[in-house]
Structure 1
Amino acid sequence: MNNYEMMQAVGRGAYGNVYLYRRLSDNKHVVIKKIPLESITKEECELTKNEVRVLAMLQHPNIIEYYENYLDNNTMMIVMEYAPGGNLYDYLRSRGEGNLLQEEDVLHLFCQLVLGMQHIHESNILHRDIKSNNILLDRSHRIVKIGDFGISKILSSKSKAHTVVGTPCYLSPELCQEKPYNQKSDIWALGCVLYEMLTLRRAFEAETLPALIMKIMRGIFAPINPHYSAEMRSLVHLLLHMDPTQRPNIHQVISQPIIFPTLFKLHMDLGMVRCVSRPLRLSSVGTRTRSSRGSEDSTDKERTDAEKKALSEEIRTSEKNLPQPDVQSSSVFCWSPLGTPVKMSVGDCEGEVVQVAASKSHRAGVTSMGQVILWEKQEQKSADVKGGNDLEVPFIPTILRSPASVTVVQVACGDGFIACVTDRGILLTSGSGSSGSLGHGNTSDVAQLRIVESLLGVSVQQVACGSAHVVAVSVEHQVYAWGCGSNGRLGIGSRMTQLWPQHVDIQGLQPQVTGVVAGHDCSFLTTTSGVLLASGSNRLNKLCVDETDLAGCETLKQIEDVATFVQVCSRPLANSAIIKAAAGHNHSIFVTDAGEVFTAGKNTCGQLGHIGSLNPRVPARVMDPVARSQVVQVDCGEDFSIAVTQDGRVYSWGGKRELKVASDAPNKSKILMRDPVGESARPSLVELRQNVKGDVSTAAAEDIVLLCHKS
């Protein structure tokens, strides 16, 4: 306790008292719950330990933060975040009879509560005591924090709880009937809290417990003020559905049309730079306009005028440093494996193209201003496109429409769909949903970019698309996969199609995942330690998960596919730290931390960069000149490969070569295939007519290559 200075008592819990302290190291206010172990039963002691265990598992902006716990004179001390605004129950009661909240303010608070509940449920935890008393607020009453996890329960994947716990007014019908229950009971309590925010009174109240249980079992509550929208009132009825199977789960709550816009605003606000103006007070239902939020005295008005003046000055200053959106200092090139690179038109996009992606159906790019460009193929009018530096490939650029205020930083392409990551870590998808790869819980097509609602509580760092599946990694190094599960490509242990993003459990592996790669029917995960993890089809050992002898010459055990992520173990790659990987239809490329390049899989067209080996299932090093270069970027097409070196050279190898010979028929010729491995296996330099420098982004798919770089 020498690190803390007590200030005052702030409350009393079931098993101990709660005090406000000042942490001496940084003068931060914290709450310490003191629980005398000698005065509580063994069961109560277990509940105390459970609260500490649950708090330690949860880290979310809308959940009270847990700092530490320790014993002092046989008293358990739990140190937690302090919420200076009190709890929601007291705040609602302080408003007085009839002084209702505006609907937008209710949504602002409720959506934060939903995000916190999403994190709790995705951690397989039941709160079991959601109520307005356990929802804490900041000083401005704008930020929600869920607290009091004393009776929470950690569930297994499909288990249900049986013990009847919680505050009676918020008990669900299944709890009243002493039936097994799961997260749907928390959803019921969530509906009770929403009703309370709309009416300033509890949904179910009675003078005796039997009368209260009877009211809950009938599911009848007083109507909500018609001032609120029909969508809001319908949401309350949906959350308070008597049948738990008809009650939505937390992901379905998030996907409700009335919820989504507010959630999007909340995510846009996360990480925002310091705001000059002060937080707005919650307003009331009445004759005031939406612009007059709360009461302000003369001091408030003077302060507001000063803040507006300061804000205007800050805006004028910052505008001078804004980037010019029309300045383009990058070039985008496109070519077939054995063709000549030609420059792509970028149309009227804002900023320079900084990243490209390609698939069988899509060619896309992202600009420095956050726009997404799609290039659609058009009829080639001129037969001669080989001469001149300014000729452009016959693709029409279009700017993809995205939700307002969205800044995209990465795009990935699958067969018939695309996925985008914003600067706020939000994932959006659009296109064909036939394989479930859009992650919206169905197989419907989506014309415009739509947010993947179930990942709103996750800050996505990178996304990769296979032909019919998607893999994403968060800034917390958590991996999610969905879409077609054939060959085990999702790495979740199942080969079934998944319509929702599924968390990938990397069991028994310590390295943190830093990047994801998706091939036609497989996936790779790169990690901080250089360990490469693979799942999916291992056709011709393209994943390099066959067991080989110590010399790396003989295959001891062939693996056809793996449904969970396993470490790449085929020698000689087993002894190397792998920093990059690329996956094609039938082959893969690997880059070690030493800059060496290895390939594995099919080699019918020389796409492996060598003429073959005695054992075609053993990975081999790419031949000169790539073998003597420091490679920083690789990609795979269907039957070819490309690599970019540290000094800006671009190499390509593989691809079908055709030779025309004379035919007996007039104006016709026969097309014969040359020996592709012998002709195409040696990497050749790609002539771009420009020096490749700065950040380079490449993409390869089927028979096309995209490359963008700074001019």
Structure 2
Amino acid sequence: MYTYALNLGYGKRTDVMEKYEPIQAVGRGAYGYVYLYRQLSNNKHVVIKQIPMESITTEECELTKNEVRVLAMLHHPNIIEYYENFLENHTMMIVMEYAPGGNLYDYLRCRGEGNLLQEEDVLHLFCQLVVGMKHIHECSILHRDIKSNNILLDRSHRIVKIGDFGISKILSSKSKAHSVVGTPCYLSPELCQEKPYNKKSDIWALGCVLYEMLTLRRAFEAETLPALIMKIMRGIFVPIHPQYSAEMRSLVHLLLHVDPGQRPNIHEIISNPLVFPTIFKLHADLGMVRCVSRPLRLSSVGTRTRSSRGSEDSTDREKQDADRSVFLEELSEKETATEATAAMQPSAVFCLDPCGNVCRLPLGHCEGNVCQVAASKTHKAAITNLGQVILWKPPTDSANLDNNDEVLLIPTILKSPSSVVIVQVACGEGFIACITDRGILMTSGSGASGSLGHGSTNDVSQLKIVESLLGVSIKQIACGTAHVIALSADHQVYTWGCGDNGRLGIGSRMMQLWPKLANVDDMLYQVVDVAAGEDCSLLTTSSGILLASGSNRMNKLCVDETDIAGFEILKQIEDVATFVPVCSRPLSNNKICKVAAGLDHTVFLTDAGEVFTSGKNTSGQLGHEGSQNPRVPTRVMEPVSHSHVVEVACGREFTVAVTKECRVYFWGGKGDDPESDQSNHSVREKIRPYLLDLPLNAERRVAIASSDSCVVLCNKF
């Protein structure tokens, strides 16, 4: 294949056409003809747009070059794929993907008057246009000719492909276009007034196409051009049939707002409550949507090649529908059984404060039983086995309570898009992150630290997809106070947010607004679990080797190099900006299966059920009196040392361990407790772990999470 730069030099390559066998003419473009060919090497159908260079003007020649330039930049399952271009007898040949289903305009006209599409089918097609347009706009490209004629379909009319980039424009940062181009019926009001325009004009054209799919007619038509311009300027169109929902009709009016400032951008369209659930279905049905602005290593789970998406036939669709029906039946049976079990054994969620006091959190009117919990300084959350997210918040009038009044936490159900099942939640300071059953990551809350992963520090009030990870199946998430770690199904680690102390493990201490792939050698380490402290990140691997990055204050990450006996520090390290193996003996002689990090100390759990701690011990949070060298990790004292521990958690100045028999041990305590002094005797009393009286079911595992000021735990259901 010859590169774009070479081909535009007009070098002759008369032998390239030997790779293709002509079949028939399929249409005519603005400056040439389009033919259907068969590629001899793989028997695949392609289309070749043939433009005679000697018979077109200089301006038309530049438009042809522009089309090739734009096509070469775009790589997306909902955009016609570009293969190559070359000169053949003074004719520019542009080889592109073939869409056997024709264009959307012909498809809609063939339905006949009154045979309207179902709203679900309209959304299915429209949302593909949205994600395709998102890719175009993120490449700083204006299409400028979005219309039903330029939207192509596969054979089953289920997959759309945006095509014809002949008059597209590549924008520089924050620039606007001025030339009046496009098909008159799809011109935006600002184009009609010859005003500068930007991506919002493409949004207007997208609204025109949506209207066309709902009504089988164009939104703006008139007998004369002046009359057409007047209709567009006033935003006058025939009302949409009432069979469509009010939300759908409202979306059309939003896209066709005459004021471009009032029109949503492409990201706001994706976040629309009507559009949002269908985006999830597309992610599962059509394959993973890639984001070339942030190159990622995509998961191999459930993916198909772009060529197979483009040539999918009805037989494949029927097989997928059959498989999906079987899956839904099995899922329904499992949910029925789960609900029956949950009704007999209700959840109980407990919260421990820094002094070891226990309170039971009310569950409100949640559906199902709690199976996972999360905690931070600002949030306490849980997930039920039916996919609901519970958030506990203090009452709004808690500030007016007397000092003697107990402030109870009020449970609320987090509103999530319909048809979205959330399976994991994690909490940071002022924000939360959720994973759906399809491996899609969503975040909301404060974006001040860049921890939302949306490319900015803006706050987000409702759960929003982290779009740059749409092509990755996320398996697990962990949040520090101001950063996030995500683990994919293929064991890749992504981090973003505050980069102080090197906590992101990417070699940089700068803030990251987008998820960035951490440099972990997957030939040596297969990451199976992630954890985050306030200023550090930790990765558990399948081999039991623990990887750490961030602040190593008082050797809390155990990355100091020690001698063979583990008593002397050979090399003292204060922080690390990349993930390195934990190497401090005697901890490094054990296989680590779980870890939890506080501000000044860390607790490690081995595969043998033993607990080690390292870091500061000002409040007895290490569970031992320490060795001669305070930077050496040490095993927690009895009775924990005589127990088989399965879960650990820690706050700023306390630590919790849960045994196999569901006994909960607590040690350490709040250092600024006014009723306790910080004498050596007081700290010595806090060091020894003591048993908490918690009514947990010993036959079930425990879900546990902690922040600097609390621990939340319950039996898993």
Q: Considering the TM-score relative to the shorter chain, is it more than 0.5?
A: yes
**1:221–1:543: structure 2 CA closer, same or farther, 3 Å change rule?**
farther
Report the Cα distance in structure 2 between the residues aligned to 1:629 and 1:38, rounded to whole angstroms.
Answer: 82
**1:674–1:478: structure 2 CA closer, same or farther, 3 Å change rule?**
closer
Report the Cα distance in structure 1 between the residues aligned to 2:528 and 2:142, rounded to whole angstroms.
Answer: 30
Amino acid of the residue matched to residue 125 of structure 2?
L
**1:43–1:595: structure 2 CA closer, same or farther, 3 Å change rule?**
farther
Contact 1:118 1:457 in 2 (8 A): no
**1:185–1:584: structure 2 CA closer, same or farther, 3 Å change rule?**
farther
- The residue that corresponds to 2:274 in the other structure is 261
Identity of paired residues, percent?
51
- The residue that corresponds to 1:709 in the other structure is 715
Contact 1:371 1:408 in 2 (8 A): yes
Amino acid of the residue matched to residue 91 of structure 1?
Y
- The residue that corresponds to 2:381 in the other structure is 364
Report the Cα distance in structure 1 between the residues aligned to 2:210 and 2:673, rounded to whole angstroms.
Answer: 72
Q: Secondary structure at 1:642's aligned position in 2? A: strand
- The residue that corresponds to 2:514 in the other structure is 503
Amino acid of the residue matched to residue 238 of structure 2?
N
**1:506 Cα shift?**
3.0
2:437 corresponds to 1:423: yes
**1:36–1:627: structure 2 CA closer, same or farther, 3 Å change rule?**
farther
Amino acid of the residue matched to residue 426 of structure 2?
A
Amino acid of the residue matched to residue 364 of structure 1?
A
- The residue that corresponds to 1:91 in the other structure is 107
Contact 1:478 1:504 in 2 (8 A): no
Q: Of the candidates 107, 124, 128, which is equivalent to residue 112 of structure 1?
A: 128
Contact 2:532 2:538 in 1 (8 A): yes
2:591 corresponds to 1:585: no
Contact 1:331 1:710 in 2 (8 A): no
**1:252 Cα shift?**
2.3
Q: Secondary structure at 1:327's aligned position in 2? A: helix
**1:122–1:546: structure 2 CA closer, same or farther, 3 Å change rule?**
farther
**1:48 Cα shift?**
6.1
- The residue that corresponds to 2:371 in the other structure is 354
**1:639 Cα shift?**
0.9
Amino acid of the residue matched to residue 209 of structure 2?
V
Report the Cα distance in structure 1 between the residues aligned to 2:228 and 2:542, rounded to whole angstroms.
Answer: 56
Amino acid of the residue matched to residue 388 of structure 2?
Q
**1:323 Cα shift?**
1.6
- The residue that corresponds to 1:400 in the other structure is 413
Q: Of the candidates 687, 699, 707, which is equivalent to residue 705 of structure 2?
A: 699
Contact 2:549 2:578 in 1 (8 A): yes
- The residue that corresponds to 2:651 in the other structure is 637
Contact 2:108 2:216 in 1 (8 A): yes
Amino acid of the residue matched to residue 112 of structure 1?
Q
Report the Cα distance in structure 2 between the residues aligned to 1:148 and 1:451, rounded to whole angstroms.
Answer: 35
2:468 corresponds to 1:452: no
Q: Of the candidates 620, 633, 638, which is equivalent to residue 620 of structure 1?
A: 633
Contact 2:351 2:358 in 1 (8 A): yes
Report the Cα distance in structure 1 between the residues aligned to 2:212 and 2:380, rounded to whole angstroms.
Answer: 50
Q: Secondary structure at 2:374's aligned position in 1? A: strand
Q: Secondary structure at 2:569's aligned position in 1? A: coil
**1:112 Cα shift?**
3.2
Contact 1:544 1:568 in 2 (8 A): no
Contact 2:601 2:615 in 1 (8 A): yes
Report the Cα distance in structure 2 between the residues aligned to 1:319 and 1:95, rounded to whole angstroms.
Answer: 39
Contact 1:542 1:601 in 2 (8 A): yes
**1:604 Cα shift?**
1.3
Give the TM-score normalised by the residue count of structure 2.
0.61
**1:132–1:31: structure 2 CA closer, same or farther, 3 Å change rule?**
farther
**1:260–1:455: structure 2 CA closer, same or farther, 3 Å change rule?**
farther
2:619 corresponds to 1:605: yes
Contact 2:603 2:648 in 1 (8 A): yes
**1:97 Cα shift?**
7.2
Report the Cα distance in structure 2 between the residues aligned to 1:629 and 1:151, rounded to whole angstroms.
Answer: 72
Amino acid of the residue matched to residue 365 of structure 1?
A
Contact 2:527 2:540 in 1 (8 A): yes
- The residue that corresponds to 1:279 in the other structure is none
Q: Secondary structure at 2:337's aligned position in 1? A: coil
**1:319–1:489: structure 2 CA closer, same or farther, 3 Å change rule?**
closer
**1:547–1:218: structure 2 CA closer, same or farther, 3 Å change rule?**
farther
Q: Secondary structure at 1:370's aligned position in 2? A: coil
Q: Secondary structure at 1:90's aligned position in 2? A: helix
**1:268 Cα shift?**
5.7
Task: Structure 2 unaligned segments of length 5 or more: list them.
Answer: 1-16, 55-60, 287-320, 396-405
**1:236 Cα shift?**
6.0
**1:703–1:396: structure 2 CA closer, same or farther, 3 Å change rule?**
closer
**1:553–1:17: structure 2 CA closer, same or farther, 3 Å change rule?**
farther
Q: Deviations over 1:23-63 (max 9, x none)?
A: 99xxxx964346899999999899769746743xx35xx55
Comparing 630-639 with 334-343, greater Cα deviation is found at 334-343
Contact 2:234 2:258 in 1 (8 A): no
Report the Cα distance in structure 2 between the residues aligned to 1:149 and 1:32, rounded to whole angstroms.
Answer: 17
- The residue that corresponds to 1:301 in the other structure is none
Amino acid of the residue matched to residue 359 of structure 1?
S
**1:121–1:178: structure 2 CA closer, same or farther, 3 Å change rule?**
same
Report the Cα distance in structure 2 between the residues aligned to 1:415 and 1:596, rounded to whole angstroms.
Answer: 31
Report the Cα distance in structure 2 between the residues aligned to 1:509 and 1:317, rounded to whole angstroms.
Answer: 36
**1:325–1:254: structure 2 CA closer, same or farther, 3 Å change rule?**
same
**1:218 Cα shift?**
12
Report the Cα distance in structure 2 between the residues aligned to 1:670 and 1:589, rounded to whole angstroms.
Answer: 24
**1:507–1:481: structure 2 CA closer, same or farther, 3 Å change rule?**
closer
Report the Cα distance in structure 1 between the residues aligned to 2:487 and 2:113, rounded to whole angstroms.
Answer: 48
- The residue that corresponds to 2:152 in the other structure is 136
Report the Cα distance in structure 2 between the residues aligned to 1:150 and 1:578, rounded to whole angstroms.
Answer: 58
Q: Deviations over 1:60-111 (max 9, x none)?
A: xx55689x9999x99999796x755432122234356787767776555323
**1:354 Cα shift?**
1.5
2:572 corresponds to 1:566: no
- The residue that corresponds to 2:425 in the other structure is 411
Report the Cα distance in structure 2 between the residues aligned to 1:261 and 1:651, rounded to whole angstroms.
Answer: 48
- The residue that corresponds to 1:654 in the other structure is 668
